């Protein structure tokens, strides 16, 4: 019996309870979690913005140590440190055949599986495949990647979502070039990773935008050269900071219609806006046909940073070892499993960066 954070139904509070986890079958790996990040996507799963089978063990950003492996697993062994990959690619669907593994049509099929059972016998699903809000988890072998050398196991949890997403938004989706100007909307875990990625890319002016003035120090430590408290004049404020032009690139990490529209308005003519935040179906963004033509901007969605974890993790590890990427700077609170509901409340209130569950 292990402890886990269970979502009993959409819209219900999380239950921290005991669950019965089976031993790994063929092609599976059992992992003892070292840490798991509390991401806004977990909140979106709990409130129904993103749909998953329930009841489920949530948590998708994690790292830990392999306890045991099932038949046929050869790329990891007991005792290995691993990062959980919540969106493994199948390698055979149409997006995968195009090299767009982040859009794999079969990435989340594992979320429908029976993962574990509660003490009273209820079947549980693995939220986003990996069920990281638990002391241990059993996942498909393609959901684990070896932790790169020189990366602390606890910090490595952040590589599973926030860092890959922020890094990829800058380097794969927006393709920020040296000396370009960048605005990042939302200074949570992903936003802080995006700011660091923009700094590593060599952006000249990096504007962080958030509703909370208390996050300025966090943003500047991550690489922001300017800080704007979100208001009705945000787009004008950003243009003033960029010689009246607007930024070359805006990255939206919130997922709200008004923020996406403001990010678009903040970019220069011919600029690029990348949307990372996950919004609900009720968040409608509108543009008129003339402005689309006149401004010549591009608007792009970005899934999982448009990243290939197997390719990107070694690159990120090199930046970590060289001191250019600071995983610890993304974490504003270290909590236990029992602290996850409070971390959800803080996200709703717009407080802090990344809360990290340390087991």
Q: What are the tens digits of pLDDT across the range 126-153?
A: 999 999 999 999 999 999 999 999 999 9
CATH superfamily, domain at 163-303: NAD(P)-binding Rossmann-like Domain (3.40.50.720)
Higher pLDDT: 349 or 133? It is 133
Nearest to 100 by CA among 276, 278, 303: 303
Determine the average pLDDT of the residues in 167-174.
98
Specify whether the CB–CB gap between 310 and 145 falls below 8 A.
Answer: yes
Determine the average pLDDT of the residues in 291-318.
96
pLDDT at 86 over 90: yes
pLDDT value, residue 352: 83
Determine the average pLDDT of the residues in 262-290.
96
pLDDT value, residue 107: 95
Determine the average pLDDT of the residues in 225-249.
98
pLDDT value, residue 237: 98
pLDDT value, residue 48: 87
CA distance 229 to 215: 9
Specify whether the CB–CB gap between 16 and 340 falls below 8 A.
Answer: yes
pLDDT at 349 over 90: no
For residue 95, give the 3-state DSSP assignment: helix
pLDDT value, residue 181: 98
Determine the average pLDDT of the residues in 299-314.
96
Say which DSSP state 245 is in.
S
- Model confidence at 351, pLDDT cuts 50, 70, 90, reads confident
Alpha helices (H) along the chain:
40-47, 94-97, 153-156, 162-168, 189-201, 216-222, 234-241, 257-266, 289-295, 309-321, 340-348
pLDDT at 50 over 90: no
pLDDT value, residue 273: 98
Determine the average pLDDT of the residues in 22-32.
97
Higher pLDDT: 52 or 23? It is 23
Determine the average pLDDT of the residues in 284-307.
97
pLDDT value, residue 52: 86
Determine the average pLDDT of the residues in 71-75.
96
Determine the average pLDDT of the residues in 300-325.
96
pLDDT value, residue 69: 98
Buried b / exposed e across 87-118, counting CB within 10 Å, b at 16+? bbbeeebebbeeeebbbbeebeebbeeebbeb
Specify whether the CB–CB gap between 6 and 17 falls below 8 A.
Answer: yes
Determine the average pLDDT of the residues in 188-197.
97
CATH code of domain 2-147+326-358: 3.90.180.10
- Model confidence at 292, pLDDT cuts 50, 70, 90, reads very high
Nearest to 15 by CA among 356, 337, 353, 319: 337
CATH 3.90.180.10: which residues of the chain? Answer: 2-147+326-358
Specify whether the CB–CB gap between 288 and 262 falls below 8 A.
Answer: no
Determine the average pLDDT of the residues in 160-177.
97
For residue 137, CA distances in Å to 43, 68, 154, 269 come to 20, 11, 16, 48
């Amino acid at each position: 019996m292990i402890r886990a954070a269970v979502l009993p139904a959409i819209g219900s509070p999380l239950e921290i309870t005991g669950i019965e986890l089976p031993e790994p079958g063929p092609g599976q790996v059992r992992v003892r979690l070292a840490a798991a990040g509390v991401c806004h996507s977990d909140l979106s799963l709990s409130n129904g913005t993103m749909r998953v089978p329930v009841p489920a063990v949530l948590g998708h950003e994690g790292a830990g140590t392999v306890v045991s492996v099932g038949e046929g697993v050869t790329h990891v062994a007991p005792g290995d440190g691993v990062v959980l990959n919540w969106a493994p690619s199948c390698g055979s669907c149409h997006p995968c055949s195009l090299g767009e593994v982040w859009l794999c049509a079969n990435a989340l099929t594992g979320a429908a599986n029976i993962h574990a059972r509660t003490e009273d016998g209820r079947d549980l699903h693995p939220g986003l495949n990996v069920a990281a809000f638990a002391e241990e988890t059993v996942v498909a072998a393609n959901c684990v990647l070896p932790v790169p050398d020189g990366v602390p196991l606890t910090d490595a949890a952040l590589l599973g979502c926030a860092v890959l997403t922020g890094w990829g938004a800058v380097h794969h989706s927006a393709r920020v070039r040296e000396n370009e100007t960048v605005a990042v909307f939302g200074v949570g875990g992903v936003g802080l990773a995006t700011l660091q990625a923009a700094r590593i890319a060599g952006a000249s002016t990096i504007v962080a935008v958030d509703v909370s003035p208390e996050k300025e120090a966090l943003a500047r430590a991550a690489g922001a050269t300017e800080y704007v408290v979100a208001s009705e004049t945000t787009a004008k404020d950003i243009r003033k900071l960029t010689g009246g032009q607007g930024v070359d690139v805006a990255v939206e990490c919130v997922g709200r219609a008004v923020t996406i529209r403001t990010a678009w308005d903040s970019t220069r003519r011919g600029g690029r806006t990348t949307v990372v935040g996950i919004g609900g179906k009720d968040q409608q963004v509108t543009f008129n046909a003339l402005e689309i033509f006149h401004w010549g901007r591009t608007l792009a969605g970005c899934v999982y940073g448009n990243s290939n974890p197997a390719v990107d993790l070694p690159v990120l590890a090199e930046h970590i070892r060289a001191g250019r990427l600071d995983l610890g700077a993304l974490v504003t609170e270290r909590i236990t499993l029992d602290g996850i509901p409070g971390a959800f409340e803080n996200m709703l209130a717009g407080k802090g960066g990344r809360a990290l569950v340390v087991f």
